[in-house]
Structures are given as C-alpha cells and as structure tokens.
Amino acid sequence: MAGSWGPMRISLYQISRDCCSAAAAPYNHHRNLLPFHGGKTLLAWRSGISSMHLPKYQTAFVKRPSIYYCNAALSTTAVPYIDKVDFMKLQNGSDIRGVAVPGVEGEPVTLTEPVTEAIAAAFSAWLSEKKKVDASKPLKVSVGHDSRISAQVLQDAVSRGITSAGLDVVQYGLASTPAMFNSTLTEDEAFLCPVDGAIMITASHLPYNRNGFKFFTNAGGLGKADIKNILEHAVDIYNSFTDEGLMKSKREASESLKRVDYMTAVRKAAGNIEKPLEGFHVVVDAGNGAGGFFAEKVLQPLGANTSGSQFLEPDGMFPNHIPNPEDKTAMKAITQAVLENKADLGIIFDTDVDRSAAVDSTGREFNRNRLIALMSAIVLEEHPGTTIVTDSVTSDGLTTFIENKLGMQKTKMTHCLFPGESTPRFKRGYKNVIDEAVRLNSVGEESHLAIETSGHGALKENHWLDDGAYLMVKVLNKLASARAAGIAGGSKVLTDLVEGLQEPRVAVELRLKIDQNHPDLKGGSFREYGEAVLKLLENHVESDPKLQKAPVNYEGVRVSGFGGWFLLRLSLHDPVLPLNFEAPSHEDAVKLGLAVASAVKEFPALDTSALDKFVQTS
C-alpha cells in the first residue's frame, strides 16, 4: 500500500463526508412557485401567534421561491380534511415524532400532510427570523428522508410548507441525517450548498407507521425550546389553511415535478483515491434503512471487500429487522453475517445513519458501553486528557476502564461525565450530551467526544454532529493505521483497545408505566406523580445502609449496592419511569430490584408488573 498514514486518514474522512453528504449534490432544476394556502404566506417569525401575512401570491419584495429536485418523487394521496390537532404532543425532545401511516390499532394518524405543511412553514418563519433574511435573496432549505413508506408524501408536504413562506427548497430524496446537516456546511455552489436550513424526515428506529422531523442550521440541531416555539407557531398556520388551498397547492406541485439521480454526483465524489482498506473484509447491515450507501460508496472505493453485506436496499417496512444498534435481533443478524462470511468487521446502522455499532471478527459486539469504551480509547489517543461526555446509564465498569487503562485520573477525570461515586453523570438524550460537551468547551474545558449508550456519538472535529457513519470511519481509520504500522490481526486491534473493560453479568432495563387515569393521581399530572415516586425512593435509600446514593446525579435516583447499581428516572415525555440496573450476578440484580420494589409499592398507579416478575425469578 502506497503512501503514509496521514493521507490515508484524510482519504477516509473525506470520502465519508463526501458520500454522507451525497444529498448535497442536486442539479439545477427549477419549478414555479406553489400558490399560498388560503391566499396567505407567513414571512416573519413570532413566538406564539404571528399576524405577518401577505396578500395572495407574492409581492415585489419577496423573490419567487424555487424547488430543486434530486431523486425525489411526489405522492398523489388525497389531502385529508383539516382536523383539530394537538401539535405539542408531537414534540419528542429536540425532534418531532408522530404517526404517519394508518392501520395500527390505537394509533391514529397525527402527522398528516396539512400538519406537516404547517410545521415546515413555521420552521421557515423561525429560520427567516434567525437569519434576518434579505428579501432580495430568499433562504434555501434542504429536505431529505430515510426509507420509511411515508417519506415521499411528507417530503412533498414539507416542500409546500417551505415555499409558502417564500423560501427555496432543495429536495434530496433518500438521504442520511448527517448528510442533511452537512448540506448546511458544505461550500459548493454547483451543489447549491451551503443551504440555510435543513429538515430530515425520519423517526429513527421506530416502527414503520411512525415518522418525524429533525431540523438543522449550520450551528447544529435545534433545541427543545426552538421545537416548542415552532410547534406553537404551526398551530396558527394550520388554523389558517383551507381545503381548497391545500388541494390547489398539491395539484400544481405534482404537475411541475422534475426528477434527477443525484447518485451521479456521489460516484464523482468517490473519484480516484488511495485504498487503505484493501485486504479488509467488512460487511454492512443497513437494516433496509438509508445506510446502504456505506458499502458501495465508502468502503469499496477504499479497497474493502464488502461481500456478505445485507439489507442494503431501502424498504420502509423493515422486513428483516428493525434498524437499531440496540436491538438484539439486529445485532444477532450482523454478528451472524460476520461469522458466516469470515469478515474482519461488521458495521450496522440505524434507519437514518446517526447511530451505529460494530462487530469484530470473533463476533464480539461493539455497542452500548463497549462502543463508548472503544471510541473513548481512539479519541484519547488523539487528544490525551480530553473530557468524555456520556449519559446517565453508562456502566460503573466504564469509569474503571477509563481510569485504569487510559490514565484519565492523571488528567481531567474529576470533570469527566462518566458514572462513578466521585464523578457526575449527565442526562440521557443525544442532544443533552452534545450540548454539555459544547458548553464545556465554551468555558475552557476541552471535550472532543459526546456519546450516549444508544449509539449516538458526536465529535468536535465533525461539528458535534451525531453521525454513525463518521464514528465507523474513526474505527476504520484505526484498522488502516494499524495495518500501515505493520500490526497484523485485523479487527483484533479494536478488541485489544477495550481489554480490561469490566462488564456486568446482568444488565436489565424495565419500564414502569404510570396509569394517568388512576384515582391515586388525584387530578395531578403524571410528572408530579413520578417525582413523588422518586422522592420516596430517595428517602428509602438513605435509610438503608446497604445502599449508597450517587452524590452527584443529573436525573432520577442512581444508587450503588450489592456490587452493582440501579437508576430510576422519569421519562421526559411519557408517563413512564425507566429502571436500569446492572449487577455481577442475577442474585445481586434481584436484591437491587427488591430495594426498588419495596419503595415504590405505595404507588398503586405505578405498574410494577415487569419489576415484580423479575424479582420473582430468584
């Protein structure tokens, strides 16, 4: 293999960025302005109610918006009637999630086309306000989607909502979440980049009937407060819609559709490069999501043998397994593929490629705590002493691993957000850990990695984007650098990096649901009830000498005892108290479970059946 390791690393990073941002390569096809719904357009952002409307069609001080199409298709589904919608229930932290496909009992459709148009128009108004738009040069918003069966319908609705606010649209069709964020950063006028904002249509690993939206600017993903304001504004836009205006908008949009295969640009971006992975056999499992490109467009140009890769074709029904690196069936599938094909490494993505995991040649999985340990080892080699930010359910063994193997106790362990008696833990949620890493850097505390147990991992060098493909490029870089240094053994180099990681024999997550209709709530909210449960558990722990409450904790009640730990916390949005615990044996895990059960039994509205079943197995 020619060349030094430096050029190899650049090649790996660059092709990952080029191919992950393949959607940022549309061709210049224009279409006429869509008519405004109900004869109105919204141009200015307001928190809450906006009264900034313009007359029907556009006036002189708004440039005619355009839609640029890349590999996009339009739906001909009939427009539903306007119904009352609780927009605020669509918020899922810093994302929007809802039901987009009918047919599942007890799950009525909440993410209709009019709802989607209203949300897109509200985002456009928010973006215009943030960017202080120049009326002579309309902002551009890119729109992409994963492989879900409702994706194209929602993409078209999003586009209509954006153009109704006077902004231009760049439709990318099938894309990954990292690609959408990269479209706000890439500087290439030929590819209409950078755009001013981006919308990714995805519901990650949720069932086929769900869908949702993630929003980006070049500053990163939007926060919870932004999403709340957008949804509040969408209510007012939605209430101004008329059936006639919606139908007219859809009809004219369908008549002016143009389609372009943007993969031509991807092939060009993959060009003549070195092949640092020549001789490596890597299989990819995309789970029929949007990650199938990684085998052909990233690994093969780098020289890797990708035979045995599976489920690369997009299929929104997910016929083989849910694309989720935390799912046991999914991990079993990629492990089996690695072993059957005698591959060096297996890589698996979630639906929109913002999460990933790996499997080594022996079938050992690198997800959850192992993935965090592996990425920490790689990052700490490059940035000794840097702070690693992670979430509240990481293992105590991870702290020991970082301290003993990587020597962080000699640098900045006191600030590291790993679990442990003397170190704080941060809240669950990928946006929470990323925001905390950004905050630490802003106050002079160097942090280069934010990663949670679900597989969301973000690096400072990659603009703090949670990018599953980029994490795997870091792993591949490690393989290539070891090969260049004359170190044999394939993926054993990765296994060696996490040697010494103490892993619990038992790791369990249970979900204790709160019955919101139970009389014990006495008219209060599930959140108030859940907080009362946590307070009583905290008091119970303090009176038990065998248990020790973590001195610093950012959510819920985390307790050590019987050689393990448990964490009971309240879900942000659902009437659920997730319970995680790890222990060196099943017997010790049952002891932890009994400690929780004895404290929460006084709350009849709390469904403890899963916990009761677990402790009765002793």
Give 453-463 pLDDT, tens digit per residue.
Answer: 888 899 998 88
Q: β-pairing, 67-69 with 168-174?
A: parallel
Exposure class string for 216-248: b at 16+ Cβ within 10 A, else e = bbbebbbebebbebbbbbbbbbbebbeeebbee
Token pair belonging to 504? 């619990």
**CA dihedral over 96, 348, 176, 224, signed as positive or negative:** positive
pLDDT at 206: 87
Which among 406, 396, 451, 407 has a CA at the least distance from the CA of 429? 451
Q: Alpha-carbon distance 475 to 366, whole Å? A: 11
Dihedral angle over CA of 228, 574, 399, 378, nearest 10: -50
Q: Alpha-carbon distance 204 to 481, whole Å? A: 32
Query: Which of 112-121, 278-287, 303-312, 394-403 is the least confident region?
Result: 394-403
Tell me the pLDDT of the chain averaged across its residues: 79
Q: Is the pLDDT of residue 549 over 60?
A: yes
Burial, 356: exposed, middle or buried (Cβ in 10 Å; 0-12, 13-18, 19+)?
A: buried
Q: Are 180 and 152 in contact (CB under 8 A)?
A: no
Residue given tokens 């297996």 in the structure block:
346
Query: For 128-157, how does the pLDDT look when each residue is reduced to its tens digit (9 = 90+)?
Result: 999 876 666 789 999 999 999 999 999 999
Query: Which of 47-56, 242-251, 327-336 is the least confident region?
Result: 47-56
Q: Are 391 and 429 in contact (CB under 8 A)?
A: yes
Q: How many CB atoms are closer than 10 A to CB 102?
A: 9
Per-residue confidence band for 40, with pLDDT thresholds at 50, 70 and 90 = very low
Which of the pair, 54 or 204, is modelled with greater confidence?
Answer: 204
Token pair belonging to 290? 């949007």
Stretch 391-405: mean pLDDT, rounded?
Answer: 76
Per-residue confidence band for 589, with pLDDT thresholds at 50, 70 and 90 = very high
Q: Are 426 and 613 in contact (CB under 8 A)?
A: no
Query: For 61-117, how does the pLDDT look when each residue is reduced to its tens digit (9 = 90+)?
Result: 334 456 655 555 444 443 444 567 899 999 988 999 999 999 998 899 999 999 999
Q: Are 445 and 415 in contact (CB under 8 A)?
A: yes
Q: Are 581 and 566 in contact (CB under 8 A)?
A: yes
Q: Where are the alpha helices (DSSP H) in 278-391?
A: 293, 328-340, 368-382
pLDDT at 35: 28
Which among 207, 234, 236, 230 has a CA at the least distance from the CA of 98? 207
Q: Is the pLDDT of residue 479 over 50?
A: yes
| pTM exceeds cut of 0.75 | no
Which among 143, 167, 136 has a CA at the least distance from the CA of 34? 167
Query: Which of 184-198, 238-252, 390-404 is the least confident region?
Result: 238-252
Q: Phi/psi at 349 (nearest 5 deg)?
A: -120, 160
Q: Are 326 and 302 in contact (CB under 8 A)?
A: no
pLDDT at 11: 39
Stretch 484-492: mean pLDDT, rounded?
Answer: 79
Please report the domains of the chain, with CATH numbers, ordered by start residue: 5-15+265-365 (3.40.120.10), 23-255 (3.40.120.10), 506-615 (3.30.310.50)
Query: For 339-373, how does the pLDDT look when each residue is reduced to its tens digit (9 = 90+)?
Result: 999 999 999 999 999 999 999 999 999 988 899 99
Token pair belonging to 26? 């549309």
Token pair belonging to 434? 């990323």
Q: Is the pLDDT of residue 552 over 90?
A: no
How far the first Cα of the chain sits from its last, in Å, is 57
Grouping H, G, I as helix, E, B as strand and the rest as coil, residue 467 is: coil
**Does residue 319 have a cis peptide bond before it, meaning omega lies within 30 degrees of 0?**
no
pLDDT at 595: 95
Query: For 249-262, how does the pLDDT look when each residue is reduced to its tens digit (9 = 90+)?
Result: 665 444 433 332 32
Query: For 7-31, how does the pLDDT look when each residue is reduced to its tens digit (9 = 90+)?
Result: 343 334 343 444 444 433 333 333 3
